[in-house]
Amino acid sequence: MHRKILLDLLDKHSPIDENELKMRNETIEFVKTNEDCFNRELLIGHVTGSAWIVNDARTHVLLTHHRKLNQWFQPGGHCDGEPDVLKVALKEANEETGLKNLNVVDGEVYDVDVHLIPERKGIPAHYHYDIRFLIEGDMNEQLIITEESNDLAWVSLEKIAERNDSESIMRMMRKI
């Protein structure tokens, strides 16, 4: 039953478009089919948790410049067996940004994205079934850049596409 909480959240989630609907449905099927879906050792893919961190005015988003992938993304990462994906998203947000005062907006799934991670260092290409949550952060709180990032930046909504104009990022931006 460790998958039930996530499946219930996904069932309640209303995707913004057909593409997200398709990815939500793929994620539901993946979670139902793979009991070990929260473990990165499942080499076909695994569930990950991310935080779309906004300021309270909803004018800026906190992005991290991912060291390995050399691109700007929202903070997030592997569940490593933890079935509470919101807990994972909050842990990753704290670890990757240093922010301590993170507020969960509603605890519902904000966005679902399925993306292929390329083969790297002997780990085969695999899918991340990324579950994203809307989190508020304080723009005045000090950010801490870790070894996972090259940089962190609060980016105004109108400038997000300058950092990353992928459909995955732009879809989350449009939802604000």
Q: Which domain holds residue 52?
A: 4-175
pTM: 0.95
- The model's confidence at residue 70, banded by pLDDT at 50, 70 and 90, is confident
Q: How far is CA 93 from CA 50, 57, 118, in A?
A: 8, 19, 23
Q: Quick one: pLDDT at residue 159?
A: 97
Looking at residue 119, which CATH number applies to its domain?
A: 3.90.79.10
Render pLDDT for 107-128 as a digit per residue (tens, 0 to 9).
Answer: 999 999 999 998 888 889 999 9
The two beta strands, 45-54 and 126-136, are: parallel
pLDDT of 29 over the 70 cut: yes
Strand ranges (E), 13-161? 45-54, 60-66, 71-73, 76-78, 103-117, 126-136, 149-156
Mean pLDDT calculated for residue range 25-34: 98
pLDDT of 132 over the 80 cut: yes
Q: Quick one: pLDDT at residue 63?
A: 97
Helices (H), 34-140: 85-97
How many domains does the chain divide into?
1
Mean pLDDT calculated for residue range 6-33: 97
pLDDT of 148 over the 90 cut: no
What whole-number distance in Å separates Cα of residue 44 and Cα of residue 32?
14
72, two tokens: 């700007």
Mean pLDDT calculated for residue range 12-25: 97
Render pLDDT for 36-55 as a digit per residue (tens, 0 to 9).
Answer: 999 999 999 999 999 999 99
> Average pLDDT of the chain?
95
What whole-number distance in Å separates Cα of residue 47 and Cα of residue 62?
22
Q: Quick one: pLDDT at residue 90?
A: 98
Q: Quick one: pLDDT at residue 1?
A: 56
